[in-house]
Structure 1
């Protein structure tokens, strides 16, 4: 089980130290990783992360109502590689949902970071991928309403301290499916 908590809706400009100080009442904090307006806090024990999730989810922190939930176990990703060393598929085949382009992504951003970023706008992220050569990414949502909601919520946001632009991709494929 993961010893990390996902922390969403972080206030802009929050420091690692401020976040650690806020969480340390629930146990020894091993590591704090900040993205833009979300991050991860790793504890020494599973009990500590569970206590932090119960105690801080939905609570106010520096003017923002935090989302605090247990992070997914990262060992699933490492163990999922096939015998040839290829990573697991990142979602359903392309073209099954509504795509949002994300422009201006930092080179160090992973597709997992992008997918987590997308979930801040709408929990229903089907797929995410990044072209590090162009610095652009794509997040796929199951419906137009989900995609538009994510764009509205994430507009003007940053990923790993870098501002990104979100745009709805052409709806040609949606219209073909009727």
Structure 2
């Protein structure tokens, strides 16, 4: 299992508990986050494989994985993920729609190709960063200004855009459209009640 986006190490801890340390690989662009996550995981008795690196490049080396999950949103599936995915393996990744977007669930069908479905329920993840735009990954110090917490009550919740009560079609990209997967495109359509349909091959 490869996780893209170690963050605090929370999800890596869940994976290690379920699968065992030896089966979990997790990477993050920020070396400081990786070190802090390793300390937390060591403190609770988990020791998965952790490293700092560019998530779009996958795990360093020639490893292959049955599952690749992204804890960051992507606008396209990096080719390295497809290359490192074992035959019949699965990628689960949030789609970067500038706000809450759907979840891509893709299975490897042949070399260099994945196909799957779009889970329309909106999820919100930080977009995947690259080394050229991440100052922390470059070893630079970043000062952050912390704002005081809001004391006013949040606005009333509204139905998620993908729900039938809001719209029959999702405004975040769940309507028929393409998703760049290397040199192919994944298309999927959703019924008005947001039911899943059979995967469409690319």
Q: TM-score, normalised by structure 2?
A: 0.29
Bigger RCO (CA 8 Å, 6+ sep): 1
Structure showing greater Rg: 2
Q: TM-score, normalised by structure 1?
A: 0.32
